[in-house]
């Protein structure tokens, strides 16, 4: 009889641009203030990519660190997934660029587009590939450079986003580690709550569209806020139950880092105390698909999660997409 397969997290890495933009710097350009941004979002500063830096720049660096921490050779990775909605180019996949940069030979490589939910979607897809025997050792990266789509004169969006990448190495094991339950959802009827309209096949870029600013991200923040709180908390509660656990078993919740008020509202609904909720958006803003793996990385480095702990990840984003997962952190003793 074949034994059940799991996908343990055996290494993690992160990378962010060195350039920091503070709230005060933004307030010099547009009609906003450090006070408004801090109290309405929790964000104090964000990292912003420089010209010449692309999504693969940070995805590669995060991936390299995750491989080093896992102590595995790049040649043993059979699959590379980059969760991103801001790829280097429309095609080929940024995952192929990362594969080449890291000298990973002949892997399966593809991008996964689920906006800010990309890492939770990616974790589910990656774990399924390992469980089914398609993959044995896989590099999953969440990476986005949202600021390249930002209109720096639009205060509704420019104060919220930052850039970066986070990565994990997953490895097949017969011990119950890694993602043990997850659920994913989307509601395409809400696709226009947040989008970049121009530059795709529906609306190829023209000089007129550029002049109208249709290459920039727009969103209905207030509407997204309401959906985010409801969908994240509902899916988080469901996934904890599906894992056969209760909230008391969760060592740390790692929510998508979009707005501290959204995170607080979700934590209240889950009835989990603030000390068991990870928040680092004050330093990075919303880094989209990178936000959960960056927060996982920092939580692990700070000793807030250790091997065998149950971690609850939950995210929402453009699409709308959302989803949650319970991860048993770390790797089995060898």
Catalytic (active-site) positions: 116, 256, 286
Burial annotation 177-215 (CB, 10 A radius, 16+ → b, else e): bbbbbbbbebeeebeebbebbbeeeeeeeeeeeeeeebb
Q: Per-residue DSSP letters for 42-92?
A: ---EEE-PPTT--HHHHHHHHHHHHHHHHT--GGG--EEEEE-SS-SSSSS
> What are the angstrom distances between the C-alpha of 129 and each of 72, 136, 200?
19, 8, 29
Site string for ligand UT7, 254-293 (x = CB under 6 A): ----xx--------------------------x-------
Closest CA to 254 of 177, 175, 185, 323: 323
Interaction of residue 230 with ligand UT7, rule CB under 6 A? no
Cβ–Cβ contacts within 10 Å for residue 173, how many? Answer: 18
Q: Which is nearer to ligand UT7, 219 or 247 (CB)?
A: 219
Interaction of residue 32 with ligand UT7, rule CB under 6 A? yes
Is the CB of residue 166 less than 8 Å from the CB of residue 58?
no
Interaction of residue 152 with ligand UT7, rule CB under 6 A? no
Give me 9's structure tokens. 């997290």
Min. distance of Cβ 110 from ligand UT7 in angstroms?
A: 22
Gap between the Cα atoms of 179 and 251, Å rounded: 15
Interaction of residue 155 with ligand UT7, rule CB under 6 A? yes
* Residue of 83, 93, 116, 139 that binds ligand UT7 (CB under 6 A): 116
Interaction of residue 224 with ligand UT7, rule CB under 6 A? yes
* Residue of 40, 131, 214, 269 that binds ligand UT7 (CB under 6 A): 40
Interaction of residue 28 with ligand UT7, rule CB under 6 A? no
Interaction of residue 332 with ligand UT7, rule CB under 6 A? no
Give me 313's structure tokens. 């990840």
Interaction of residue 113 with ligand UT7, rule CB under 6 A? no
Min. distance of Cβ 207 from ligand UT7 in angstroms?
A: 29
Q: Which residue is nearest to ligand UT7 (CB)?
A: 221
Min. distance of Cβ 222 from ligand UT7 in angstroms?
A: 4
Residues in contact with ligand UT7 by CB under 6 A are: 32, 36-37, 40-41, 116, 155-156, 159, 194, 219, 221-222, 224-225, 258-259, 286, 317
């Amino acid at each position: 009889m074949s034994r059940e397969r799991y996908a343990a997290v055996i290494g993690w890495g992160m990378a962010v641009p060195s350039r920091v933009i503070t709230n005060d710097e933004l307030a010099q350009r547009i009609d906003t203030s450090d006070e408004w941004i801090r109290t309405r979002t929790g964000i104090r500063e964000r990292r912003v990519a420089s010209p010449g830096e692309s999504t693969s720049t940070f995805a590669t660096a995060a991936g390299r660190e995750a491989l080093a921490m896992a102590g595995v050779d790049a040649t043993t990775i059979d699959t590379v997934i980059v969760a991103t909605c801001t790829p280097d180019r429309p095609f080929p996949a940024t995952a192929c660029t990362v594969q080449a940069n890291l000298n990973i030979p002949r892997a399966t490589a593809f991008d996964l587009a689920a906006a800010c939910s990309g890492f939770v979607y990616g974790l589910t897809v990656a774990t399924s590939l390992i469980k089914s025997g398609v993959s044995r050792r896989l590099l999953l990266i969440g990476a986005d450079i949202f600021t390249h789509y930002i209109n720096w004169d639009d205060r509704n969006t420019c104060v919220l986003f930052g850039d970066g990448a986070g990565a994990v190495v997953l490895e097949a094991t017969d011990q119950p580690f890694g993602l043990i339950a997850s659920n994913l959802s989307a509601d395409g009827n809400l696709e226009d709550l947040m989008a970049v309209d121009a530059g795709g096949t529906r609306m190829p870029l023209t000089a007129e569209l550029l002049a109208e600013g249709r290459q920039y991200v727009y969103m209905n923040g207030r509407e997204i806020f309401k959906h985010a709180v409801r969908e994240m908390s509902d899916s988080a509660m469901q996934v904890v139950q599906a894992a056969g656990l209760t909230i008391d078993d969760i060592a740390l919740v790692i929510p998508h880092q979009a707005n501290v008020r959204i995170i607080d509202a979700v934590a209240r609904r889950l009835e989990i105390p603030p000390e068991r909720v990870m928040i680092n958006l004050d330093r990075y803003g919303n880094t989209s698909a990178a936000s959960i793996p960056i927060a996982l990385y920092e939580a692990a480095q700070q000793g807030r999660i250790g091997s065998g702990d149950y971690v609850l990840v939950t995210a929402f984003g453009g699409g709308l997409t959302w989803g949650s997962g319970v991860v048993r952190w770390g790797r089995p003793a060898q």
